[in-house]
Chain A
């Protein structure tokens, strides 16, 4: 590869977020630092036949977002979120994309279930509400191909800025968010692009997805208390709260960003991924593969456990995850695991599957920006097996320069990334 590209560093210069409880970055950060939660009873459809009836829904008005009728018609909700975030990130970056060589601008977008919402809508029509296995060609939407094979998602993001560099969707389940952003870091470092639009989106609050997590009892059945249903690391936790959301960033090569006086949120390391090769949904008790991913992320960022000021956990709020993760932190961070503040923002914005890793990267960048660590909401009675400082209930001000974020997902994916403040 281009040897001149060795040693390139990657920074974040633009951010756009659409999450439950807030329409943009400011509202997102306000929610996180307040410790309020955005988890409520599902309103998108009648959830009474389901075991878990709680979700974190985002208020999103595609017309108010400036999407055209054609865009609204053809784009799945998750794509709409991604495009809205991209526009925000681009504006935030201050870059004039028209002045850039399009071949030097790429896209790396993560999503776990991609067009699931649109798939379900179309299914009901084509199958006549599930009656017919032989779906009806008379009801075939011209956009159905794009819901089946969701390349349209990163394409729409690319079209937003005319990006013609490498464009891909990274779809690693619940680690898609970290992995997509990490992939973008690699592409800039190796010289395949100078600017990457990187992030992730998922809008999975749809019956099929609710049903599939009901089936494995991974989501919380705490329907009588939705606001407190996402309880990572708490002894009474009983599953995650399904959510939707998106976060998209502008990533740039560091020297160029500095030269143009860009506002830099943070420098990003590449993501490290390991597979647990254990079970498609089950986690080990020992957390060794996540620890290995963390170590690899440290190597990449030339960081030490003791450098870490804050750990953003996966913290989905299932019994098995939070135990697994605690074990992994102890393995990877040693005694520092007991000193560093660790929190899960899923306690507030729920688990948006492939998107949450990118949303968590946004939270990490803002933690660095504002020297505030978001809390873990609903943490009243820590699980004795989760005996680290999980920042219960209240955000904490402290100097935040180096942050570790991790993710864990079905298929055995374990990912980690280090972000640090730029001097």
Chain B
């Protein structure tokens, strides 16, 4: 909407800021490569290459290529980690380096880890299921007991970096990543100086991949440029992807005290709510969730400069989201975008990656477009940024995410002005 807005924070407010980010996305390993590719419209959605998907009803995925785990992680970690954990460890390393944090060797209770996961180390566990039933129980690896469960990334990040503060793992499908960030902020407000947060998911083995199709929302379109068209009249589903983002969340005071090299922005507000049960005539909860997050940031809808949408890519869900946005802000009143059209939906990684993208928009004053979408129904009432990036001063962004079965989460990030 209008330019930068500065409103006094609510009383008792403990500002929580992002001081480091790490990204592993189908269209970029590392933050700057990802951001460049987002602005230049380079897609990471391709035909599935990990196995022969010719017999499957869909064949596309957002795959990360060029990640050689051996280049990033010690050899001993490789037999015990799923690809999602390897990516999570590497992106956590990059985020910590970006934030110039050296956890040190001491008993560090002041640094915690809170991540989200939707599918766990699924390729790893698929291999173990296969060995169990094809060969026998004695073939199941010692590492299966911890390589698959949903807290594995939190655990491994904490061990690798010696972080003994609070740890948690939240599951909420595509909304969980924002829940993890919200809980990280809560944990910082409660007194932990720094929390590594975010999410990384990968389930692109045959069983994990096929299972995503069972949700009924994955596109069967074979053209990578037409398969995931958020808010387009021709939308026919989404493409699943792997990857995500890790963010270093600190209290502003702690960041300043230790001389953090940069502050990307403040996580100013967070909220979560759930849709009514199937069959209810109550409205979906997305608008309420967004309103709450904005209010908790001490802001009004008019203060939001851009909305990073959940972008289900399914017409009835796109319409519901569009209605929530236009209802909250007014028709066409705020730019909306979904850079995830270039990566696919990343489940627990999606929300954190959107937050990083929003912070980069704030930093560089540019809103990335929603790739491939060209025909947005007027009835949606949203100003979707399509085609080229839109140069615009961005001071405050709203990021929303919805998870299958009714999860809704929203985060407001804003430029840090102290």
Contacts and interface: CB of A to CB of B under 8 A. Distances in A.
B105 to A, nearest CB: 10
A410 B278 contact: no
Contacts of B159: 275, 277-280, 412
Interface residues of B, number: 92
Interface string B261-275: 000000000011111
Contacts of B214: 140-145, 148
Interface string B181-219: 001001001000000000000010011101111111000
Interface in B107-140: 107-109, 112-113, 117-119, 122, 125-126, 128-130, 132-134, 136-137, 140
Interface in A22-64: 49-51
Interface stretch (B222-230, B314-322, B399-407): B399-407
A406 B173 CA distance: 28
B285 interface: yes
Interface in B49-76: 51-52, 55-57
Interface centre among A129, A172, A186, A292 (most CB of B within 10 A): A172
A150 B171 contact: yes
A161 to B, nearest CB: 9
Q: Which applies to chain B's interface (DSSP): helix, strand, loop or mixed?
A: mixed
A163 B405 CA distance: 13
A181 B189 CA distance: 20
Interface in B261-298: 271-278, 280, 282, 285, 288, 296
Interface string A145-185: 11111111011001100111111111111000001000100
Interface in B383-410: 403-407
B155 interface: yes
Contact of A275 (B57, B158, B403): B158
Contacts of B30: none
Nearest to B12: A3
A113 interface: yes
B169 A171 contact: yes
Contacts of A276: 164
B211 to A, nearest CB: 4
Contacts of A423: none
Interface stretch (A205-213, A312-320, A321-329, A397-405): A205-213
Nearest to A151: B173
B206 A134 contact: yes
Contacts of B80: 280
Given A127-B133, A141-B214, A171 B150 contact: yes
A167 B176 CA distance: 10
A411 B164 contact: no
Contacts of B213: 137, 140, 145
Interface in A289-326: 289, 292
Given A142-B214, A218-B145, 4 more contacts: A215-B144, A275-B155, A275-B166, A277-B162
Interface of B: 10-13, 51-52, 55-57, 80, 107-109, 112-113, 117-119, 122, 125-126, 128-130, 132-134, 136-137, 140-142, 144-146, 149-152, 154-156, 158-159, 161-173, 176, 179, 183, 186, 189, 203, 206-208, 210-216, 271-278, 280, 282, 285, 288, 296, 347, 403-407
7 contacts: A140-B211, A149-B118, A151-B407, A154-B172, A159-B277, A171-B170, A412-B159
Interface of A: 1, 3, 6, 49-51, 102-103, 106-107, 112-114, 119-120, 123-124, 126-127, 129-131, 133-135, 137, 140-152, 154-155, 158-159, 162-173, 179, 183, 186, 190, 192, 207-208, 210-216, 218, 272-281, 288-289, 292, 409-413
